[in-house]
Structure 1
C-alpha cells in the first residue's frame, strides 16, 4: 500500500491511497471526534496517479470537508485508516498534546520494552510499532509523508534502505542495543509462545522475518544443554541464515546480503550518525539522554525488564560454539558499541550534550 496526505487545511483534508492491486478502489475508515467511525470509499478521481502508473483508473483520491464531517475544521481528533490493512495514514496534530518532531527508535528486541513504548507513543500524534512488518512502499510512505508533524516509528527495518528518507525528512534517530545472546534467547522463547498460544497474531507481529524458525523451536528442549548443542548443529542453511547476525545485517547489509566482518565497521559508522545510541544495561542513561535531547520528559519511569527465562537461556546459548559462530559479528558489534556507550555515559553532562548533539558514539 502507498498513500499520501496532501493537505490538512482545517476545512479540508485531502490525499490518496493505492492498494497492492492498483485497480482496486480504496476505502478509508474515518474516526472524527466522538462520532462513530465510518467508511469512506475514494471520492476523488486522481488522473495524476493514473498518468504515473500508480493506479489503473485514478479513482484513489479522497477529500474530507464539512459535507462529510460536520465542523471538521474545529475537531482536534481526526484519524484516517486504510480499511483492509487498518494502517493509520493520518492523525491530526494537536499542539497541546503532541511533540512536533519526527523520531525513529531502532530496537532490535523481538519483544520491545512495553512501558518504554507506551511512554514514548503518548507524546506523538502518530506512532508505528514493529514497522519492519510493513511492505517497503508503506514504510516509505510513512517516512516521507509531508503532513506528519508528530510521528514516532519503532522497529528494525533495513537501515540501508531507509537511511536516505530518515535524513531527508529530519528524523531524530536513536538505537537501543542489547546483548546478542539475550536477543536470541528471547526470540526463541517467543517463537515457542507463538506455537502454543491460542491467539499468536500479537506475538507474530514481534517476530517478522523469524517465523520460519518455528519448526526448529518446537523440537527444542530449552533446559538441556546437550539438546541445544545438537539442535544448533543440525540447523538447515535457511535457518542459519535467519539466525545469523541479525543486528549487523539490519544496520549494514543490503536486503538478502549476509553479514561479514567488514560489515561490523559499517554498522558502527551508521550508529555514529545517529543522535543517540544506548544499551539495555545502561537504560536509565538512555532514558535521560533521550528526554534531554528531545527537550521533554518523554520516557517516564520505564525500566529495563529482565525476564528470568531469557537470562537463563542466554547463559546456556553463550556456551554453545555453534551459536557463538552464528552471531559472532553481532557479538563484536555489541562489544564495540557497549564500550562507546559506557564512555559516552561517563562523560555525559548538559554542556557536552548540547555541544555534540548527545550521541553516545564518538565520530568513527
Structure 2
C-alpha cells in the first residue's frame, strides 16, 4: 500500500474533522465567493485538496460539511447548500421527483480494516462469505475454523471480533452493504442495502474518521473505511476475494480495473454501481461519488460558480486524485456530464452552462 503524501497528512490535520473551510488571501481578480456543499465523507480527502488548490488559483472558497451522504441528500433537498454529495446514487425517478440532477465526480474503494494481534497489513485473507458472516455476527472469533482455513499460513489469535460500522447515514455504508447484498443471500434477506441499516452486530462510529478511530483503538476489531483514510492512518487492510475468485489488495490499479467496463452512457441519471465487478484484478468494493444539484437554479451566478469549480476539478484535479488513490472520471464521461449541464440546468429560464 502506498503511503499518503506528506502534504495530504498536513492538510487533513489542519482541517476540522467534520467540515472543510479553506482560506487563503483573495486574488484581486476575483470577488469573495463561497460555495456551500455537504455530504459524503468518502471523497472528503480529495475535495479538501481540490478546494485548497482552487482557492489559490481563483479566490473562490469551498465550505464543505463532511456529514455523510444521507445528510448531504437532506441538505440539498432542503436547499440549505449549493450542492449535495452522495456515494449512494439516486435513481432517475428519485432525481426527477426532487427536481435534481446528479453526476459522478470521482471513484475510489471501500476497504475492510482490522486490528488483529500479530497480523500485518495485507496478510489476512477474507472471502465474501467470511466478511458477510462476520458482519452478521455469525463468526465471533479471529481463530474461527473458517477464517483459519482461508489463512493457513497465519497464526490467528483466540480473540473476540468487534465489528465496527457507521453510525450515521452513509454512502460508504451504501457501497459496503450493496456489496454484501450481492455476495451473501443471508445478508440480502436479513439486512439489505441502504445508507443506514439495522446492524446485526457491533458498534458505530460517525464518519470514516469515526470508524477508523474505533478500529485503531479496539483490539480485535474490524471496520470499513474509504481507502484514503486507511492510507493516511496506516491501517491494517485485508485482502478480499473478488468476483473472479482472486484475493486482491486495495490499490488504485484495482479500483481502475473495477471501473474499466462501467457503461456510463446507458446509466439513466448516471446511476452506476461498481461493486463485485468482473476481472481478475478488480477490487470488489469500488464505488463512485456523486454531486447533486437542482436543475432549476435560483441564482445564475451561484449556479455558474458551482459548475466552474467542478469543471476545474475534472480538468485539473486528476493528478491530485491519483496521488490519493482515487480514480478520476474518464474524459468521455466528463464530456457527457458537461453536455448534461448545458441541457438540463437553468437559472430563471436561462442556460447556465455553455
Larger Rg: 1
TM exceeding 0.5: no
Higher helix content, 1 or 2: 1
What is the TM-score normalised by the length of structure 1? 0.30
